[in-house]
Structure 1
Amino acid sequence: MIKLVIFDADKTLWDHYNISEFEEPFSVIDGNVLRDSKGRTLKVFPNVRRTLDELKKKDVKLAMATWNFPHKTEKVLRALDLDHYFDVIVSRDFPFKFIMISEIMRKLRESGTSLKSEEVMFVDDRRAHFGNVWLYLGKIKCLEMWKDVNDHLEILSKLERS
């Protein structure tokens, strides 16, 4: 049974490929679109909030592992009012998701939640990250966004089959 779902951010939760380029001040349009001072925008994908709400109702822990500058991730999540969903957010300026996931699991363990790898699901838009996750962390269930699932709500059905 899955007890933790870890999400990537860029191209997984929203349509922009690199929020580290965003510059303040930010403005939020209709709650799901963020514009930076240079006019760059990102849009939260449909059903992201609904999926996060449903996962929380099921008492699933939520985390984020993203290759972005930590201060940018924090500010974008806060501006979009998404930060409160996540129990742990690990944002690093390097692409090694298996290291970020290890850090997430360590932080959860330190706060009293120990998980086996088969109780963890990782959702990312790039399958390239999965090899090292499996190699170093074991049987984590990995879903490639837009290939294994085409809508965030489909993650809920994958959760139930685990």
Structure 2
Amino acid sequence: MPWATSAYVPSEKVLEMLACLHDFDLGLQASAGSSAIYEVTMWTHLALPSIRLKNVGWAMLDKMIKLIVLDADGTIWSHHDASALVAPFEIVSCDVIQDKYHSTVRLNDGIREFLNYVRENGILLSLASWNEPENVFSLLSLFGIDGFFVFPVVEPHPNKHVMLQKIVLGLSQRGVKVLPEEILYIDDRDVHLEEIRSSVGNVKFLRYGVDVENWYDALDKVKCVIVRRRSL
């Protein structure tokens, strides 16, 4: 049911859903010509701030998140260049690893809780990382989180759109169809986003460290969307 006229009054549940999506970059500019896309400005009686989401249509709200793709450097962990690390690695604690020269890699706060919640709620997780693969897969294994990711793609080039295409293709070949609007991509940088949306489609996006402060914050936002969408 699209918002066909300004006279349409969204239900309380839809307003709550819109509030949950407030910090998500939905990438809808490319679809602005669609008859199902409208600019909506609304105020609620729920003590929520004014919500102004441009080009938001029912078609976007109707898509559940089925796949979350994460970046690694600066997103899953604190280090910004896993390829620069030198093996062998040493486990300092469950969340800290050092390389041969004592460079430290620390899991960012809340990532384990985020991964567990997402998997428990039936959402697929994958990885798209611009790195030499050996160090990344070694770190994932040593941290004990490698088993969360399906079709992880780690390649020594910056073309994240190619990586996402490979992930979607891999899932499709296993009989799992994922639409672009059902993908949430989380990265500490947005430099790859334009190419991703041009090649893959209108994926949802959260910028780690900007849209979300940490993984606990990301978990709250994803949980809000999941819970509210299921209640619609």
With normalisation by structure 2, the TM-score equals 0.68
Aligned with residue 119 of structure 2, among 43, 48, 56: 56
Cα shift at 1:122: 0.3
Residue 152 of structure 2 corresponds to residue 89 of structure 1: yes
Match of 2:206 in 1: 143
Residue 41 (structure 1) aligned with residue 134 (structure 2): no
For the aligned residue pairs, the C-alpha RMSD in angstroms reads 1.2
Alpha-carbon distance between aligned partners in 1 of 2:132 and 2:98, rounded to the nearest angstrom: 18
Task: Give the counterpart letter for 1:147 in structure 2.
Answer: V
What is the percent sequence identity of the aligned residues? 28
In the other structure, the counterpart of 1:3 is: 66
**TM-score (normalised: structure 1):** 0.96
Number of the residue aligned with 2:77? 14
Distance, in Å, in 2 between the alignment partners of 1:155 and 1:61 is: 16
Q: Is the 8 A contact 2:186 2:208 kept in 1?
A: yes
The total of aligned residue pairs comes to 162
3-state SS in 1 of match to 2:152: strand
Structure with the greater relative contact order (CA < 8 A, sep ≥ 6): 1 or 2?
Answer: 1
- Measured after TM superposition, the shift of residue 151 of structure 1 is 1.8
Amino acid at match of 1:87: V
Based on CA coordinates, which of the two structures has the bigger radius of gyration?
A: 2
Measure how far apart 1:22 and its partner are: 1.2
Query: How many Å separate the matches in 1 of 2:136 and 2:129?
Result: 8
Per-residue deviation at 1:84?
Answer: 0.8
1:117 to 165, 180, 202: 180
For 1:46 and 1:157, the matched residues in 2 are separated by 13
Gaps of 5+ in 1: none
Output one character per residue of 1:24-51: Cα deviation in whole Å (capped at 9) or x when no partner: 1111111110100111111001100000
Report the equivalent of 2:61: none
Does residue 72 (structure 1) correspond to residue 145 (structure 2)? The answer is no
